[in-house]
């Protein structure tokens, strides 16, 4: 029974909002005579007719006797009074006065004002009965108010003098623009309840539709379903903003904020409609037109959010023209889709036509051209119902088609399944065999390609780097055999031969050790020995290169410091690191070799630090990569195979140690070898 009552009240309210009462009294020459009208029997009335109007005056509501005001028709915006009131404009302040003759027996009257822009105060017989915002004589005194208001006054006299002060310094349109209702308090409240029933019914319907289609979209429906869902949700928000029940008191939200949200709810609907049609019929909507419409809508939305009311309310008049043009574009796109035989295009033409008609009527009402009230929420409800029916029908057809396809596929599957069972095992075995062979071939090919690439690159670098020192030695020997070399030059040439032979020997040693590490043949024969001894043997090999580049070598090695490692491998690591330090240290530089025992006495740290050119951060990881071979020239174009550091890392790891590098470009480098001082406990 409750739902039937709700439907009845909804239908009754719709009929009341779309039909004017017959035989209601009209205000004439500033007087509304209600003595022959029974409010209790005939219901509330909308005040229509002539009020006294005082432009740029906030008349004294107490005992005023001035009847010189201009008679104007109410409701009407100020800009509609230009022919009656000289010098009137959309912004300013004014007073309205209406004398109401009431019949005897009335105890209370209720007044309901809908659209009064944009600050107002109300007086009966000189007594204030309420404010909506605050009227003033300039924009600094006035407070913007925008919400329907209801005022109940006791009837103590047979003549009620109603005075309304109105000011507008923000909105594009000022004055008593909306209806003024008079009736008993119960009648006004009952009418408001009827409107609330209608609004809550529509709000619930829009929410259900929006949430339902949002769920369909999240479950994988097409993109236009998302926009349709958002239309339903925005419409529910718009009804909430405009509803009597939610915002009539206007206590929890300012008038300007309410106006912005009302405009924004309309502004968002336009691009949502456009995007829905665009993704519904993508081949029929011109791309350039679509982009232009979306950009204009976006600009209007931003304007409503950030601009003052005086600006965006004025621009909105032109935007409404754009919306009408956009509605024409949508109808054109739907007509093209209809002519091209697109599915359900006719139904969308009907639905969007209904929505467009409602939007146009609302825009005419907002533009003060008509006084029909806002009906777009009703036409939008009809549109959503049509679309929901169309989409449901479309889903039903797709479900039936999918059911037929599913049954056919199931039948075919059963036939194939019975046939495939006999061949499945053989096929699986063959596939596994082929997969295994293919994997073996892939691994072999990758290993072969990697080995060939590494070998080719290594021998290319090796050949290039050995050629230079051998060539230098041959050239020096040829010069000395020719007898053309003076005695003073022989020492320099012999130095060159020594450096070249030393570099060649070091390259060959690295090559031999690296080859053994790659083949897995290299083993570590670890013993304990003093560090200073092998370090002295190693540094002696570099006396000539150090003297040649005038590099200072400083050694800080405690006598008792010992290592547990393969002695020859440790020498090779030290030789490579010292060679690197000399190679990348400029003439006159400094190299420090430092030995440190850790606090626990279990490890020995050997640090070789130079003040040379350093290593950029991006190259550190590449230097230690086992997949790349890079040869870098020293400060005097010295050559190398690019395997020295890699060999040091592998030999250090073989001896249960680590190699660390710290460096900054231009600030030198520090190489730290960490090796055990004693045999590790887990080794025999």
Tell me which DSSP letter residue 421 carries: H
Mean pLDDT of 247-253: 51
Q: Name all contacts of 49-52 with Cβ < 8 Å and 24+ positions apart.
A: 49/73, 49/74, 50/74, 51/27, 51/96, 51/97, 51/98, 51/176, 52/96, 52/97, 52/98
Q: What is residue 539's three-state secondary structure?
A: helix
217: tokens are 């979209």
Our CA dihedral for 285, 288, 290, 293, rounded to 10 degrees, sits at -140
pLDDT tens digits, residue range 30-63?
999 998 888 888 888 889 899 999 999 999 888 6
Residue 246 vs residue 184, higher pLDDT: 184
**Closest among 557, 572, 647 to 604, alpha carbons compared:** 557
pLDDT band at 6 (very low <50, low <70, confident <90, very high): very low
**Alpha helix positions (H), 121-222:** 185-218
Percent of the chain with pLDDT over 90: 17
Distance of CA 601 to the CA centre of its chain: 57
pLDDT of residue 281: 85
Q: Would you say 504 and 640 are in contact if contact means Cβ atoms under 8 Å apart?
A: no
Q: Name all contacts of 587-590 with Cβ < 8 Å and 24+ positions apart.
A: 587/549, 587/550, 587/551, 587/635, 588/549, 588/550, 588/551, 589/549, 589/551, 589/552, 590/551, 590/552, 590/554
The CA angle 336-342-347, to the nearest 5 degrees, is: 85
Q: Does position 565 have pLDDT exceeding 70, yes or no? A: yes
Question: What is d(CA 502, CA 506) in angstroms, rounded to the nearest whole number?
Answer: 6
Residue 348 vs residue 231, higher pLDDT: 231
DSSP letters for 231-255:
HHHHHHHHHHHH-HHHHSS--SS-H
How does the average pLDDT of the chain come out, rounded? 78
**Alpha helix positions (H), 281-308:** 287-306
Percent of the chain with pLDDT over 70: 73
Q: Does position 419 have pLDDT exceeding 80, yes or no? A: no
pLDDT band at 545 (very low <50, low <70, confident <90, very high): confident
pLDDT band at 19 (very low <50, low <70, confident <90, very high): very low
Question: What is d(CA 121, CA 566) in angstroms, rounded to the nearest whole number?
Answer: 102
Q: Does position 372 have pLDDT exceeding 70, yes or no? A: no
Instruction: Give every CB contact of residue 269 below 8 A, 6+ residues apart in sequence.
Output: 231, 234, 235, 238, 359
Least confident of 146-160, 256-270, 560-574, 642-656: 642-656
pLDDT of residue 615: 80
Tell me which DSSP letter residue 368 carries: T
Mean pLDDT of 182-202: 84
pLDDT of residue 32: 93
pTM score: 0.52
Q: Would you say 32 and 69 are in contact if contact means Cβ atoms under 8 Å apart?
A: no
List 84's β-bridge partners, or say none. none
**Closest among 76, 117, 71, 62 to 98, alpha carbons compared:** 71
Task: Please provide the size of the chain in residues.
Answer: 684
Tell me which DSSP letter residue 220 carries: T
Q: Would you say 78 and 168 are in contact if contact means Cβ atoms under 8 Å apart?
A: yes
Q: Does position 253 have pLDDT exceeding 50, yes or no? A: yes
Q: What is residue 545's three-state secondary structure?
A: helix
Question: What is d(CA 342, CA 333) in angstroms, rounded to the nearest whole number?
Answer: 11
Least confident of 29-43, 497-511, 579-593: 497-511
pLDDT band at 421 (very low <50, low <70, confident <90, very high): confident
Residue 121 vs residue 627, higher pLDDT: 121
CB atoms within 10 A of CB 174: 25
Least confident of 65-74, 142-151, 178-187, 433-442: 65-74
């Amino acid at each position: 029974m409750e739902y039937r009552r709700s439907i009845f009240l909804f239908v009754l309210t719709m009929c009341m909002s779309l039909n004017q009462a017959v035989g209601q009294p009209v205000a004439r020459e500033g007087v509304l005579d209600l003595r022959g009208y029974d409010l209790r029997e005939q219901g509330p009335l909308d005040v229509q007719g002539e009020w006294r109007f005082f432009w740029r005056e906030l008349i004294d509501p107490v005992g005023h006797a001035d009847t010189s005001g201009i008679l104007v028709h109410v409701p009407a915006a100020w800009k509609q009074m230009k022919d009656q009131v000289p010098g009137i404009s959309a912004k300013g302040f004014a007073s309205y006065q209406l004398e109401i003759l009431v019949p005897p027996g009335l105890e209370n009257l209720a007044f309901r004002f809908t659209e009064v822009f944009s600050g107002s105060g109300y007086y009966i017989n000189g007594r204030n009965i309420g404010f909506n915002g605050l009227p003033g004589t300039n924009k600094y005194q006035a407070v913007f108010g925008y919400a329907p208001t209801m005022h109940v006054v006791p009837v103590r006299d047979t003549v009620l003098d109603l005075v309304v002060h109105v000011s507008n310094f923000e909105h594009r349109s000022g004055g008593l623009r909306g209806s003024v209702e008079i009736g008993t308090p119960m009648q006004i409240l009952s009418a408001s309840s009827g409107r609330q029933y209608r609004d809550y019914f529509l709000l619930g319907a829009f929410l259900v539709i929006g949430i339902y289609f949002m769920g369909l979209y999240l479950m994988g429906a097409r993109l236009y379903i998302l926009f349709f869902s958002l239309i339903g949700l925005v419409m529910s928000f718009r009804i909430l903003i405009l509803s009597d029940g939610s915002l009539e008191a206007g206590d929890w939200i300012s008038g300007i904020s309410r106006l912005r949200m009302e405009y924004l709810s309309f502004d968002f609907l336009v691009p949502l409609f456009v995007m829905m049609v665009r993704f519904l019929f993508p081949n029929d909507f011109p791309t350039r037109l679509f982009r232009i419409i979306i950009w204009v809508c976006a600009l209007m939305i931003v304007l409503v959010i950030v601009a003052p009311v005086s600006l965006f309310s004025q621009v909105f008049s032109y935007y409404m023209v754009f919306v009408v043009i956009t509605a024409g574009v949508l109808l054109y796109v739907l007509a093209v889709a209809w002519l091209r035989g697109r599915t359900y295009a006719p139904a969308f033409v009907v639905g969007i036509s209904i929505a467009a008609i409602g939007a146009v009527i609302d825009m005419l009402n907002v533009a003060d051209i008509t006084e029909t009230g806002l009906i777009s929420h009703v036409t939008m409800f009809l549109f959503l119902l049509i679309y929901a029916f169309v989409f449901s029908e479309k889903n039903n057809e797709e479900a039936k088609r999918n059911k037929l396809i599913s049954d056919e596929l199931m039948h075919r599957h059963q036939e194939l399944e019975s046939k495939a069972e006999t061949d499945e095992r053989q096929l699986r075995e063959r596939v596994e065999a082929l997969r295994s062979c293919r994997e073996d071939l892939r691994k072999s090919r990758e290993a072969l390609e990697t080995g060939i690439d590494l070998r080719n690159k290594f021998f290319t670098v090796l050949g290039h780097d050995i050629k230079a020192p051998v060539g230098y030695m041959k050239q020096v020997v040829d010069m000395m055999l020719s007898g053309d070399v003076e005695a003073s030059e022989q020492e320099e040439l012999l130095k060159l031969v020594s450096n070249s032979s030393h570099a060649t020997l070091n390259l060959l040693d690295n090559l031999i050790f690296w080859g053994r590490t790659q083949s897995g043949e290299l083993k570590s024969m670890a013993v304990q020995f003093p560090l200073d001894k092998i370090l002295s043997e190693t540094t002696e090999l570099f006396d000539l290169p150090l003297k040649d580049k005038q590099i200072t070598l400083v050694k800080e090695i405690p006598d008792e410091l010992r290592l547990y490692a393969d002695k020859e491998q440790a020498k090779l690591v030290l030789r490579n690191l010292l060679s690197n330090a000399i190679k990348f240290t400029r003439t006159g530089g400094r190299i420090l070799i430092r030995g440190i025992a850790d606090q626990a006495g279990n490890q020995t740290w050997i640090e070789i630090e130079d003040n040379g050119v350093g290593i950029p951060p991006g190259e550190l990881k590449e230097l230690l990569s086992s997949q790349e071979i890079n040869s870098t020239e020293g400060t005097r174009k010295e050559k190398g195979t690019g395997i020295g550091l890699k060999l040091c890392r592998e030999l250090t790891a073989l001896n249960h140690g680590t190699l660390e590098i710290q460096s900054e470009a231009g600030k030198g480098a520090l190489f730290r070898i960490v090796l055990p001082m004693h045999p590790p406990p887990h080794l025999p």
